[in-house]
């Protein structure tokens, strides 16, 4: 039970980090002392940026070839790997690159491997 709770918390933390890293920057505040043309330029740039960051057209330049996620296996590393297989498949589907799970002998080993 405790291991499942830890896995769930770890998964939620990882997903929140990934989600926050993918958020587009907020548009510039239009109430500042800027001209209408400058505001229009900002809107155009924001629209272009939003359109170009869709999942189908995302540039993956600089992305790793494999996304690696480490877990502390505890007493049963095989069980940890099996229970996180749906997570691996989901991440592969969403990222479009291979996802590799690994277990470490301790939390320190997992952090060092990252």
Whether the predicted model's global pTM rises above the 0.75 cut: no
- Condensed to tens digits (0 to 9), the pLDDT of residues 33-72 reads 444 444 444 444 444 444 444 455 568 888 889 999 988 8
Identify the weakest region by mean pLDDT among 20-34, 62-76, 92-106. Answer: 20-34
Which alpha helices (H) appear in the chain, and where do they start and end?
A: 2-21, 36-52, 77-83, 85-95, 107-113
Q: What is the pLDDT of residue 7?
A: 78
Answer whether residue 6 shows pLDDT above 80. no
Task: Please check whether residue 96 is in contact with residue 56, taking contact to mean a CB–CB distance below 8 angstroms.
Answer: no
């Amino acid at each position: 039970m405790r291991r499942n709770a830890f896995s769930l918390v770890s998964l939620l933390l990882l997903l929140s980090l990934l989600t926050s890293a993918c958020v587009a920057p907020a548009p510039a505040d239009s109430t500042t002392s800027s001209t209408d043309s400058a505001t229009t330029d900002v809107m155009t740039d924001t629209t272009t940026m939003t359109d170009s960051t869709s999942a189908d057209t995302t540039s993956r330049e600089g992305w790793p070839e494999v996304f690696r996620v480490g877990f502390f296996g505890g007493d049963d590393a095989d069980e940890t790997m099996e229970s996180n297989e749906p997570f691996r498949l989901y991440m592969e589907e969403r990222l479009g690159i291979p996802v590799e799970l690994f277990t470490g002998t301790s939390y320190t080993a997992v952090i060092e491997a990252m």
